[in-house]
Chain A
Amino acid sequence: MSLLSVRDLTVKFAMRDETVTALNGISFDVAKGERLGIVGESGAGKSITGFSLMNLISRPGYVDRGEILLDGEDVVKMSDKRLRELRGDKMSMIFQDPMVTLNPVLTIGQQMVETLLAHRKLSREEARQISIVKLREVYIPSPEERLDQYPHELSGGMRQRIIIAIALLLDPQLIIADEPTTALDVTIQADIMELLLELCQSNKVGLILITHDLGVVSQMTERTLVMYAGRIIEAGRTREIINDPQHPYTQGLINALPQQTLPGHKLRQIPGNMPSLTNIPPGCPFNPRCEFATDLCRTHIPEIARYGDVEVACHEVARLQAGGDRQEQSA
């Protein structure tokens, strides 16, 4: 049985005038120790997916339907008490911006120790010792001194390492990392990703990595979900998605990578922008930007279906698989 099983998850936001659907019936699984990437443009619903797994969606957002089974327990229907027990313990989260994630008036030690004490019966001294061990694991120099420092005394990269250490404090089964390096210096990004990969592998922790960076996904994850306008449009093994993308949107994303373009040539890009959630076009949400769009695409939403090793939500792919003819357009 998979560690995490999301079924038909739909998250809505009750705005003043209308209700906006931010996640539209997404389903996916994460096996024990598996690393899953979720990619997409800003506003595709990646972060909301991550937060809803922890049941951290706050008003005006709410889970409309669907279930999130963590080891068979439904996170959506869970009591506050049980949720609190799971958060930080069985699953933990790494936030986007380390500069604002840690509480500015509490020391690193206080913020680590409190996490341990919230879940385990330990003495303060024991909790401190565990914290020191974990800080060592993320290569923080002289961890004993760091414990008594405040966040503002440390650099962004150092803080994100500490947040990774906190995420690992209670040996969780799943870590949700929401763009963990977006706010960091480019030179540090690779270090942090490498560290995260190394720790997930050595501790056999499942990872959900939310990012817009396909390069990172290809290095870090075994499976990938591509999201667009609150839906999963392509899912499968990362290698296959990177090497042989099926959905026109995924193809566009990969073609847009700088390494796909010869030096001196203009970067390729997908024309247009992702629709805002209040204004999603009828039919396939990608159709206005898609070069293969047909009349069917403008009226009917494609269901996600399995073709070989990947799942794709695209009428055109379905037609091709059924024996249609389309010229090979992708690179």
Chain B
Amino acid sequence: MFAYLVKRVFQAIAVMFVISLIAFAIQGNLGDPLRELVGQSVSEEVRQQLRDELGLNDSFMVQYLRFAGNALQGDLGTSYFFKEPALDVILKKLPATLELVLGATVIIIGLSVPLGVFTAIKPDAFLSRIIMGLSIIGISVPVFLTAILMIFVFSVEYGWFPSFGRGDVVQVWGYWETNFATFDGWMHIILPSIALASIMLPLFVRLIRAEMMEVLQSEYVKYAVAKGIKPRRIYFVHALKNTLLPVITVGGVQIGTMVAYTILTETVFQWPGMGFMFLEAVNRVDTPLIVAYLIVVGFIFVVTNTIVDLIYGLVNPTVNLARMGA
């Protein structure tokens, strides 16, 4: 187990190294940072002097090593726009995004498992056909369109839900701002969560259905029937457990992907998270903030995948984590 963990941590470090290299390489191609810093009224000599002071004339590797060294100490540069450390800016926006992803994840897990199982057990039922038809629509319609439609219907026409922002948030643990402490907060997070879930949910319903139908054809399910086990136990213990193993692996990757999808959802709903912030940073050519965002998102991706792999190892008895380090 420990050896496996160490191995995974080394893999994660390697991945982070590549991500940081790519993110840093982007920096040099996003225009002249001096223009963003000092504007156009400064003379060329002063500019050259500033370039030397900032180390912008050093070779790429020297600049990268300096950047990486700082990054290891938690310094990802200073945002041009906010005049604050980029990491601090992102961390302030992080809770909003993570809560949005959490809301969407709860919706996806809560609905995809029962819907997937139902459509697998009763593939010919009228309801199953409707669910499968809707899932195709769900996959095909882009997130921003779903989001705008929902705002139009539920906020503008009916006025049930607010159309933008986080509403009343409450500070917990001195730092984290949460939506889940007030009624207003709950009302604000519902529409964005559904919008964010709208792409992944049909994907998961179809994935679970396909896996489950395959498992239901297996010998061990037939054997369970021959033993006289009750259908409910066959579906939810014998079949579902085997169904979810591959779903967990795909799901882990998708949670990471969802963090990236938040850019669209947050923009439509004016959700003050880091996806919205990233789009603004791109508009302002706030290079350090862009680089820091890429690194933080990459980090979230790596962490969730590592955790998912560990969970998979715990759930699947044929994976022996203790032996996998060797």
Query: A: which residues have CB within 8 A of B?
Result: 54, 56, 58, 84-89, 92-93, 95, 97, 100-107, 114-115, 118-119, 150, 152, 166
Contacts and interface: CB of A to CB of B under 8 A. Distances in A.
Given A56-B222, A150-B317, A150-B318, A103 B230 contact: no
Interface string B227-259: 111100100011001100100000000000000
Nearest to B220: A103
A39 B218 CA distance: 25
Contacts of B230: 84, 118
Contact of A92 (B222, B227, B229): B227
B222 A85 contact: no
Contacts of A152: 317-318
B220 A100 contact: yes
B225 A103 contact: no
11 contacts: A84-B228, A86-B228, A89-B228, A92-B226, A100-B220, A103-B220, A105-B315, A114-B227, A115-B227, A150-B317, A152-B318
B71 interface: no
A119 B228 contact: yes
A56 B228 CA distance: 11
B228 A104 contact: no
A73 B242 CA distance: 35
A173 B226 CA distance: 15
Nearest to A95: B223
B318 A88 contact: no
Contacts of B294: none
A100 B228 contact: no
B226 A56 contact: yes
Contacts of B245: 105
A206 to B, nearest CB: 16
Most chain B Cβ neighbours within 10 Å, of A58, A92, A103, A152:
A103
B315 to A, nearest CB: 8
B314 to A, nearest CB: 12
B53 interface: no
Nearest to A81: B230
B45 interface: no
B229 A115 contact: yes
A100 B227 contact: no
A56 B225 contact: yes
Contacts of A85: 228
- For the complex of A and B, the 7 pairs showing the least CB-CB separation, nearest first, are A88-B228, A87-B228, A88-B227, A150-B317, A103-B220, A100-B219, A93-B226
A328 to B, nearest CB: 45
B187 interface: no
B225 A87 contact: yes
Nearest to B215: A103
A139 B228 CA distance: 25
Contacts of A92: 226-227
Given A106-B238, A115-B228, 9 more contacts: A56-B225, A84-B229, A95-B223, A104-B220, A104-B317, A107-B317, A118-B227, A150-B317, A152-B317
A291 B111 CA distance: 65
Contacts of A104: 220, 242, 317-318
B316 interface: yes
Contacts of A56: 222, 225-226
Nearest to A163: B223
Contacts of A84: 228-230
Contacts of A93: 223, 226
A119 B228 CA distance: 8
A103 B318 contact: no
A97 B238 CA distance: 18
A190 B307 CA distance: 47
A54 B224 CA distance: 12
Interface string B304-325: 0000000000011110000000
B219 to A, nearest CB: 4
Interface in B53-83: none
A92 B226 CA distance: 7
A114 B223 CA distance: 13
A135 B246 CA distance: 33
A56 B222 CA distance: 8
Contacts of A95: 219, 222-223, 226
Contact of A105 (B225, B226, B316): B316
Contacts of B242: 103-105
Nearest to A166: B227
A73 B130 CA distance: 41
A56 B47 CA distance: 83
